[in-house]
Structure 1
Amino acid sequence: MKKIIWTFGVIAGIIAASFMVASTIACYRSAKFESSMLLGYTGMLIAFSFAYVGVKNYRDKFNNGAITFLRAFKIAGLITLIGCTFYVVVWMIEYYVFVPDFMEKFTAHELKQARESGLSQVELNKKIAEMEDWKKIYSNPLGLMLMTYLEPLPVAFVVTVATALLLKRKAQPGQVAI
């Protein structure tokens, strides 16, 4: 089971991190954060789909075609957690080494969007304060790490639950499902 978790977790991590790097490059070339975000989340979905492949592989090859919801959830969850960790580590390297000006560019983009949307000065001041809070969080490596985990974890959780629901299968008479 460990080999399956690590194999598919590393595959998921490489895919998620690759899409994230591609989305950062796209963002820096066009300054369109929205399309970069779409590319990043698409990559997460593709990457975390390997949790399905890993659970199915375990169920069919090593567990006589049966698996409980909890065991499937555990395997899928660990696979996606490894994928998330790759994503976070690569983003932290990318952020500190290659795009240390990311928060300045992101803040400028967000404030430009806010101004163009016609926000009142009070609402604009709230947005400015919000972006300053984000800068403070990102200035601390622990804050950066935790905030970065919050990006892929919701996608990972949905894929984990869906995988466990789709692949759970009761043991046939005479079989034992774990």
Structure 2
Amino acid sequence: MFATALRYGAISGLVVVGVIVAGMLYADGPGGGHASSSMWFGYLVMILALSTIFLAIRDYRNKKLGGVIKFLPAFGLGLLVAAIAGVVYVAAWETFLAVSHYPFMENYTAAMIQNQRDAGVTGAELDAFIAQMEEMKVMYANPLFRLPMTFIEIFPVGLTIALISAAILRNPKVLPARA
């Protein structure tokens, strides 16, 4: 089961990071990016990449268990794939940040502040928001904050897909032998 989870989790995590990093690099080109639309794009990519959870459970059920799997083992496999995808995602993201020196949090906070300005927020309310974003930058610089936050971005999506996949793919009945 672990080999199946490792294969599908690694694929999922690498796909998510690859597409999101490519999207960020592209968005920084002419025209720039928009934080809210890139967030939705990121979660869409996660949903698509984490569909490997469904494939992993189906593959394991059909190839290793003869078409029979109960909900809890299916859910457990799905959680394992989601956890591995999350770890791969965190490791790849940290590697990307270390190698590229990409100013992610600076870009993110600048975009969020600009969104507030575009929405007409001014005065003390804008100052409080800017202070909050500055505090966020300081916290994000700490790996003890950044690593779990990065993991939390992807894992709940995987948890949801694991639940749905386990419910759909469960087959607790032993199939009759074919003659």
1:28 aligns with 2:28: yes
Q: For residue 146 of structure 2, what is the aligned residue in structure 1?
A: 144
Alignment of 1:37-48 (within 5 A): 37-48=39-50
Q: For residue 73 of structure 2, what is the aligned residue in structure 1?
A: 71
Offset at residue 26 of structure 1 (A): 2.6
Which residue, out of 158, 161, 178, partners 2:160?
A: 158
Offset at residue 34 of structure 1 (A): 2.9
**What are the Cα deviations for residues 60-114 of structure 1, in whole angstroms up to 9, with x where unaligned?**
1111211111101110111111111111111112223314422222221111111
Superposed CA RMSD in Å reads: 1.9
Alignment of 1:70-109 (within 5 A): 70-109=72-111
The 3-state SS of whatever aligns with 2:36 is helix
Q: Which stretch shifts more, 39-48 or 66-75?
A: 39-48
Label 1:73 to 1:106 Cα distance change in 2 as closer, same or farther (>3 A): same
Instruction: Tell me how far apart the structure 2 counterparts of residues 27 and 148 of structure 1 sit (CA, whole Å).
Output: 20
Offset at residue 174 of structure 1 (A): 7.8
Percent identical among aligned pairs is 31
Q: For residue 9 of structure 1, what is the aligned residue in structure 2?
A: 9
Aligned residues: 175
TM-score, normalised relative to structure 1: 0.89
Label 1:17 to 1:100 Cα distance change in 2 as closer, same or farther (>3 A): closer
Structure 1 unpaired stretches of 5+: none
Structure 2 unpaired stretches of 5+: none
1:169 aligns with 2:177: no
